[in-house]
Amino acid sequence: MARHRRVFSVLVAAAWQLLSSQRARAYEEQASFDMSAGYVSVVDSAHLPAQGTALDLGAALGISDIAVLRGLLGYALLPEGRATAHVGRLRVEALYLVDVLQFVPFFGLGAGLFVARQGDSGVDFLPAGQLVFGADYLLSRSWTLGLDVRTGALLERGEVRSTSDVSLRLSRMFETF
């Protein structure tokens, strides 16, 4: 009889531990500040050079265990001889996390506004949309290293141009609640 009580006590204690433990949270209820650097390409543009480098600062908010909203503000330098273009970039992205483990693949959609200046040609405001693919590697509960790949379209003076962007991102995550 004492043996049955001991087994029962162990089972109740184990059930209590399972039911009362906190759930794992990788992205939901967390925010992050992001910094990234990478390569930018604009295909067949009459006004912008074809390739360059980019720097972005951003912030993200995990809205569930499978979804993240991210905002980015960046700068791209597209040199081509004397016709160097300076491009400011403002982007918003909605991302779906495929699996939340230490390695987290994701995909999503983004929209943006690029502000381009090249030489004395004035300033162009260029709306853009993109598909986003990538993966995060959770270095710790607070730090993430990510690879972002974007491909999309840029509306340049009434014509659609193809754009691509590949960047390496470092994120610092914070609890929000």
Domain 27-175, CATH number (from 2.40.50.100, 3.40.50.970, 2.40.160.20, 3.40.50.720): 2.40.160.20
Q: Which residues pair with residue 153 across a beta bridge? A: 129, 162
- Give the model's pLDDT for residue 156: 83
Give residue 140's Cα distance to chain centre: 17
CA–CA gap between residue 84 and residue 162 (Å, rounded): 19
Task: Domain ranges for the chain, please list them.
Answer: 27-175
| Model confidence pLDDT, tens digit, residues 75-89 | 999 887 767 888 999
pLDDT > 70 in the chain, percent: 81
Confidence of residue 152 (pLDDT cuts 50, 70, 90): very high
pLDDT > 90 in the chain, percent: 51
Q: Which residues contact 22 (CB under 8 A, 6 or more apart)?
A: none
H or E element that contains 110: strand 103-118
Lowest mean pLDDT among 6-10, 53-57, 134-138, 141-145: 6-10
**108 near 86, Cβ under 8 Å?**
no
CA–CA gap between residue 152 and residue 173 (Å, rounded): 28
Tally of CB atoms within 10 A around 111? 14
Tell me the pLDDT of the chain averaged across its residues.
84
| Model confidence pLDDT, tens digit, residues 26-71 | 567 789 999 999 999 988 776 677 889 999 999 999 998 889 999 9
- In this prediction the pTM is 0.79
Of 131, 96, 125, nearest to 111 (Cα)?
131
